[in-house]
Structure 1
Amino acid sequence: MNITPTALPGVLIIEPKLFGDARGFFMESWNQRSFADLGLDIAFVQDNHSHSGRGVLRGMHFQREQSQGKLVRVINGAVFDVAVDVRRSSPHFGQWVGVTLSAENHRMLWVPPGFAHGFLVLEDGTDLFYKVTDYYHPGSDTTFAWNDPTLAIAWPDLGMAPTLSPRDTAAPPFSQIEPMP
């Protein structure tokens, strides 16, 4: 397994070993012992699966309480996956990193607790799968505008406006959210 740090400490690109031949491939996407050996002693409590069409943008979301770490991967299609540091005490507060995850590149992104997460779907029929370290906590679920000008996230231009949920359409600017401590 190859781990590549990103510009935000703690957010990691993980590339599992692939074993392939004419039949296809095999990869181990999660092995608690292997991840612990790499310094990622993580306990997951839930798996989530999101299926979306091209141009769907989901995010930016985080939980103030029961903050979730997420191990994100794409099993069909492709996304531009984004993490934003929402910890007010962090020297990287308000900074973001974006990575293309696809079924073709097999990359995974580790988004630790204390980061907002969102993604733009780049291909029709995309399936994004992610493991989380804590349960969904509706009372502390927080969102902010995906296109907040102070963050200036460089979303890929798909030549169309993104498809958003009503909640994401009405999301407040980043400056109006209550960040993590």
Structure 2
Amino acid sequence: MNIKEHSISIKENKMKIEFFLNNECVSVDANPMQSLLNTLRGNLKKTATKEGCGEGECGACSVLFNGQLVNACMMPTAQAEGANIMTLEGLRQTAKGQCVIDALLEAKGVQCGFCTPGMVLALYALLNGRSDPTQHPTEKEIRTAISGNLCRCTGYGMIIDAANIAATKGEGLW
């Protein structure tokens, strides 16, 4: 078998992968080594998750994977089997997710919008993962939480403000 034949057989190699996406059970036939990002966008039409760098450096492809923030561009779809994955489409249907979105809008932390889905998920993961939700995160904690997300428009100040707004307005949610 030559290289061309081998690459064609890999592309045709698909398997059924089942997982929970935005709290709904889904089943998709996909190449198990295809990135989760490509499966979400191409197969499942969840286009809020963006492809930025394709190397796990920009955070545009962030999703919550079993509650942890991950870069979907770096994860093979096969790893999703049985997992619980949340994208912006699902998160915005929750009170906590809407709280973060509203805070970003209030703080004017949204400009071009390309990084916004990843930022929403990163801020949500920060606020939802605190051991003491009555303590607001420090600026250093916020900067650390969003450090995997590149934004070329806002300068991050407004995003940090949004985290504080969401922590305050979301008291009782977190």
Larger Rg: 2
Give yes or no for TM over 0.5.
Answer: no
TM range, smaller chain: 0.3 to 0.5
Name whichever structure is richer in strand by fraction. 1
TM-score with structure 1 setting the length: 0.32
TM-score with structure 2 setting the length: 0.33
Task: Tell me: higher relative CO, structure 1 or 2? Use CA pairs within 8 A at least 6 residues apart.
Answer: 1
Name whichever structure is richer in helix by fraction. 2
